[in-house]
Amino acid sequence: DTIFIILRKQKLIFLHWYHHITVLLYSWYSYKDMVAGGGWFMTMNYGVHAVMYSYYALRAAGFRVSRKFAMFITLSQITQMLVGCVINYLVFSWMQHGQCHSHVQNIIWSSLMYLSYFVLFCHFFFEAYIGKTTKARKVD
């Protein structure tokens, strides 16, 4: 999606490039360990991105897509970040009982990444959907 934003000469927001850089670094870091929870992380990401890219395809094809659909996608991303934190907690709990192969350091990095995404996506949601509505109502 980054290439499409650049080709359309749109501005890359901090959330976009931060998210892509940190996911790339974390994936490289984690791949060698085949971390527990990784399959869940990928499955959630594929699901959210399937919906998101469908939205982008419709818009690129010239269809007018409801703002509620965009809000749903962002809320799905926020939910994904919360579930990612829950998965990290579960993996850590299972590690304590010897039922799960992972590393505490990996869980810490993953949790920090998911928490930072949660904060950034919540901020984006507020700025893109709530803040504009509030400002527009004040003008009216």
Which sequence positions are flagged as catalytic? 19
Structural contact between residues 86 and 37, judged by C-beta atoms closer than 8 angstroms = no
Token pair 């700025």: residue:
127
